């Protein structure tokens, strides 16, 4: 199949865009100077994220298809967390010229397949040469005439609830970093897969709206840290009951820490009126009170979770 350097920039772009199904809100896809995407609401929800080789993925752990699914998922989840419907992704891809063309094609297959889960499309992007692989993703979404779900709406008396896996990705990363002498069990392999290819519960956005959510976000950097963002934006204190937080099926004492501070599961956490009755897919883990910050079992929590600029 050859390398990207042999194929050339425009040859690669043609190969990749030819693999991308179009439709839905993408009215004009790759091939021109820019894409044209419908915005029925008159507003566009937009978010962007970077994935760097050695930081967000390792080539000895992840294949290109999983990397593509992960890159799309973490951005689509951010759109859903705003209460919007994802419509399109724009991809910036930097990679060495010696990269096999098939690797890039499988990456785009992963991006396209994750988009298909929510009815979105890859609308275009750019490809450049670089010493290491970097993937920049911009996701767009439509609010459908409704107000966005932000981090600033939590009020004292609200319930705090979560939807999706917590700590599974962190447990999987731990297993990858600390391989045992024997083969992994089926449960351990599922945890590893949760790190390599997270599966956000995208339906959480619509469910949160139906429940009357006052605030919502994607848990990407750890539950306690991300709840701290809601607390700060809303000017409230969030009290978390550690016993109520669902933990991953990890055979060790760190399972609770993984659930509270592990990121990249892309679960959702939100606040809801005290009268709300969340369905079984949601777990109530705390309450909103007057005050500031986040407490865990009554103890004030400092910085935790993931921060790129904090060791």
Annotated binding site for ATP: 108, 125-126, 151, 220
Structure tokens at 187: 């449960």
Q: Which residues does 278 contact at the CB level (< 8 Å), separation at least 6? A: 159, 161, 211, 272, 284
Mode of pairing for the β-strands spanning 282-289 and 36-37? unpaired
Annotated binding site for Mg(2+): 33, 47-49, 78, 126, 218, 221
Torsion 205-56-179-170 (CA) sign: negative
Counting beta carbons within 10 angstroms of the beta carbon of residue 306, is it exposed (0 to 12), middle (13 to 18) or buried (19 or more)?
middle
Please state, in angstroms and rounded to a whole number, the distance separating the CA atoms of residues 141 and 37. 10
Question: 202-229: b or e for each residue (b if 16 or more CB lie within 10 Å)?
Answer: bebbebbbebebbbbbbbbbbbbbbbbb
Nearest to residue 19, comparing CAs of 81, 102, 98?
102
Annotated binding site for substrate: 56, 264, 306
Annotated binding site: 33, 47-49, 56, 78, 108, 125-126, 151, 218, 220-221, 264, 306
């Amino acid at each position: 199949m050859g390398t990207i350097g042999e194929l050339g920039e425009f040859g690669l772009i043609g190969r990749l865009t030819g693999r991308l199904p179009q439709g839905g809100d993408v009215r004009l896809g790759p091939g021109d100077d820019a894409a044209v995407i419908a915005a029925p609401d008159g507003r566009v929800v937009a978010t962007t994220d970077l994935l760097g080789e050695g930081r967000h993925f390792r080539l000895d752990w992840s294949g290109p298809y999983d990397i593509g699914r992960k890159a799309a998922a973490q951005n689509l989840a951010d759109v859903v967390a705003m209460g919007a419907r994802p419509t399109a992704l724009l991809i910036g891809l930097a990679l060495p010229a010696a990269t096999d063309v098939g690797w890039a094609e499988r990456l785009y297959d992963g991006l396209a397949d994750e988009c298909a889960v929510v009815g979105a499309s890859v609308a275009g992007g750019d490809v450049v040469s670089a010493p290491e692989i970097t993937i920049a993703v911009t996701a767009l979404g439509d609010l459908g005439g409704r107000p966005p779900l932000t981090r600033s709406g939590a009020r004292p008396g609200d319930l705090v609830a979560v939807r999706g896996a917590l700590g599974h990705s962190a447990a999987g990363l731990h297993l990858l970093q600390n391989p045992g002498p024997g083969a992994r069990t089926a449960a351990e392999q599922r945890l590893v897969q949760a790190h390599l290819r997270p599966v956000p519960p995208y339906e959480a956005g619509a469910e949160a709206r139906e429940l009357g959510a006052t605030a919502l976000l994607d848990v990407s950097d750890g539950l306690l840290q991300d709840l701290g963002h809601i607390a700060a934006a809303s000017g409230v204190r969030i009290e978390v009951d550690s016993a109520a937080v669902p933990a991953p099926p990890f055979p060790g004492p760190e399972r609770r820490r993984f659930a509270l501070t592990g990121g990249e599961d892309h679960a959702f956490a939100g606040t809801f009126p005290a009268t709300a009755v969340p369905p079984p897919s949601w777990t109530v883990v705390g309450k909103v009170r007057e005050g500031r910050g986040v407490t865990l079992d009554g103890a004030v929590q400092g910085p935790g979770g993931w921060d790129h600029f904090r060791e």
